[in-house]
Amino acid sequence: MELKGKTAIVTGGTSGIGFSTAQAFLEKGAKVVVVGRNAQRGENAVAELSKISADVVFYQGDTSDESSVKGLVDFAVEKFGSLDVMVNNAGIGIHGTVDELSADDWAKVIDINLNGVFYGTKYAAIQMKKQGKGGAIISTSSIEGVIGDPLIPSYCAAKGGVNQLAKSSALSLAKDGIRVNTVNPGYVDTPLVSVEAIGQELHDALVAMHPLGRFAKPEEIAHAIIFLAENEFITGTHLIVDGGYTAR
Ligand code: NAP
């Protein structure tokens, strides 16, 4: 798919992987809506992204709220005339083994990391079907959607769900030319897994799990998302970008 002139929504586009993805779409000549809950972070992101192109706006929304996601798609179409690429990227992580985790913390992660991706996929698909020109839906899953991790069971459950949601949606939407895929990163250098967020000891242990000896740079994941948006024969797949983590 030629991205120049197309419209992309990037949820969680105000930080980390989403921010780099928004940069990459703008560099390709696409128009971009970045989404987050925090208005200040949104304004800062747009100020930075505008240095690449003026075709970028912020939508303050919460992807765990269905009406907010429906409003987001309407906003993108009103602003830029169409929706061609949906990147369901917003996500959080909460640590706690299964016997320690509260039902509230379980629900928070499922609400954002899985339900939010469902809402994004659903309303993007409705809009893309209406337009009749196909489209691409890409969700940021994780290697934690294909392997187990004792410390983050809710995150693993949500990301595994995101993988299966993508496969199922890819099958029902293929006849409309709408492709649905996931990118499954290993650990990525973002605030979500910074030393401040998870502590030096866990950070170092996680780096050591990657045969390439480092976390990914956010732009390396953005590059994979662009690839999935552009390649018109990929659907229903999971692109693992993990420095060899899952090769063992
Ligand atoms: P990040 O730097 O913490 O950024 C998260 C982004 O999501 C922020 O823009 C945040 O903005 C937004 N967000 C969070 N909850 C939201 C909600 N309910 N509604 C709207 N926006 C929301 O995280 P990241 O590391 O780039 O992670 C992005 C995605 O990659 C996540 O799905 C994560 O699970 C996945 N991932 C990350 C890694 C990693 O190692 N970093 C590895 C594999 C997969 P607000 O807080 O202002 O809403």
pLDDT digits (tens, 9 = 90+) for 31-63: 999 999 999 999 999 999 999 999 999 999 999
Is there a domain that residue 79 lies in?
yes
Ligand 1 environment, Cβ below 6 A: 11-12, 14-18, 35-38, 41, 61-64, 89-92, 112, 116, 140, 142, 185, 187-188, 190-193
Atom of ligand 1 nearest to the CA of 93: 34
Give residue 90's identity as a one-letter amino acid code: A
SS3 of residue 137 by DSSP: strand
Cα–Cα distance, 128 to 139 (Å, whole number): 16
- pLDDT for the residue numbered 92: 97
- pLDDT for the residue numbered 152: 96
- pLDDT for the residue numbered 166: 99
Q: Percent of the chain, pLDDT > 70?
A: 100
Is there a domain that residue 201 lies in?
no
Is there a domain that residue 76 lies in?
yes
Residues 159-186 have a mean pLDDT of 98
Atom of ligand 1 nearest to the CA of 189: 41
* CATH assignment at residue 227: 3.40.50.720
pLDDT digits (tens, 9 = 90+) for 72-95: 999 999 999 999 999 999 999 999
Beta-strand pair 85-88/238-241: unpaired
Q: Give the per-residue SS3 of 161-179.
A: HHHHHHHHHHHHHHHHCEE
Domain count, the chain: 1
Domain that includes residue 136, residue range: 7-190+217-241
- pLDDT for the residue numbered 30: 98
**Which of 35, 37, 189, 207 has most ligand 1 atoms within 8 Å of CB, for mutation?**
37
Is there a domain that residue 71 lies in?
yes
